[in-house]
Structure 1
Amino acid sequence: MMRIRISHRTLALQVLLAASVCLAQAPAGSPADSNSGALKIQTPEKSETLLPAALKALPHITVTVHNPHADADETFSGVPLMDLLAREGVPHGHDMRGKALSEYVVATGSDGYKAVVSLAEADPEFHPGDVLVADAMDGKPLDAKTGPFRLVVTADKRPARSVRNLVSIEVRSAM
């Protein structure tokens, strides 16, 4: 009879490998329950969950950006990011100085995709581009592939910071 001898180290490595394979196969959880259609806005001071109807009730602006993938212009309607953050007490306008200049937003999609925007970039008094949380494109609500929320950054030459299925906006500090 042949006897196979496995060291403790080899056994531990096999168990870790099997566990990592199982974790890789598990469905990824989202930061804010991607199935709920809610947007979590988190600042150092407080946290709020915004539903599509609540965003729709806020004052909107309309912006047009060029989508190089489709080689077409797209018109988005939504709420400026800084307007949402100002409701949470985030510095803006005249108060955008000192420590506030080291703060940034991490925008996360339901698939885990993340993009970073500095607070200064989101402030129209500081930066010429618009950053908005869109809920409509070309006059229609965002579809399931891209919505209900999408981060749109108009000053970018490439739409890499356009986060589809936006579920979380978190304000952080580099200090």
Structure 2
Amino acid sequence: MRSFSIFSWLIISLFFLTTSSCVEVAQAQGVPCPGGYSNQFRLSGKVEKPRTFTLRNLQRNPKSSRITINYYSGKEGSVTKDYIGVPLIDLLNDAAIITDSTRKNDILSKYVSVSATDCYEVIISVAELLSNFGHQQVLVAFATGDGQPLDENEGMARLIVPGDKAGGRCVNNIARITVRSIQ
């Protein structure tokens, strides 16, 4: 029998916690969920430098890169697409995640909640993004692989999670990126 590591347990637990009733929680907290096109998003939470991003901010970021993703979509079947965007870890590093230096590996207790305009929400453990742990190249995409803006359904920015077998964590119309802690 294969045992789960603490990291695996954390990811599974956070997935079930956030997918159980994200829309209801957001609405109860007074967060509007109208859906539709997002022309900006806010990065906040446990960061020293919260910030609002626009298309221009993302386009001017020197850390932009191009990535190809392959995943299965319930609507489209097998999907392969190219995107241009900024690695999520670079946005988080620029925002300076707040950690407690008295706690061993406090950064490993942090996770990122990415919410869409319709209150669809997914989580990514910060450890998944760190080069000395998961080193997953999660991207905040702002253009297709050929440099064209994302379409109306995708919004100004879309979260791209390469390596996932299904596209469920690829969030369209990003409204908020929030850094949180399990402790």
TM-score (norm 1): 0.74
Superposed counterparts of 1:135-150, under 5 Å: 135-139=142-146, 140-150=148-158
Task: Indicate how the Cα distance of structure 1 residues 56 and 30 shifts in structure 2: closer, same or farther if over 3 A, else same.
Answer: farther
Higher RCO (CA-CA < 8 Å; seq separation 6+): 2
Question: What count of residue pairs does the alignment treat as equivalent?
Answer: 144
| Bigger radius of gyration | 1
2:122 is aligned to 115
> 1: CA distance between counterparts of 2:130 and 2:155?
23
Task: Tell me how far apart the structure 1 counterparts of residues 50 and 174 of structure 2 sit (CA, whole Å).
Answer: 16
Q: Which runs of 5+ in 2 are unaligned?
A: 1-26
TM-superposed CA distance for 1:34, in Å, is 6.5
- Which residue of structure 2 lines up, in the alignment, with residue 78 of structure 1? 85
User: Is residue 2:56 matched to residue 1:53?
Assistant: yes
- How far off its partner does 1:126 sit? 2.3
Counterpart residue identity of residue 108, structure 2? L
Question: Post-superposition shift, 1:109?
Answer: 0.6
TM-score by length of 2: 0.71
Q: Percent identity?
A: 31
* 2:156 aligned partner, one-letter code: P
Q: Match of 1:38?
A: 40
More off after superposition, 105-114 vs 117-126: 117-126
- CA-CA distance at 1:157 after TM superposition: 1.1
User: Within 5 Å, which residues of 2 pair with 1:87-106?
Assistant: 87-90=94-97, 98-106=105-113
* Residues 37, 173 of structure 2: 8 Å contact kept: no
Three-state SS of the structure 2 residue aligned to 1:159 is: coil
RMSD of aligned residue pairs (Cα, Å): 2.5
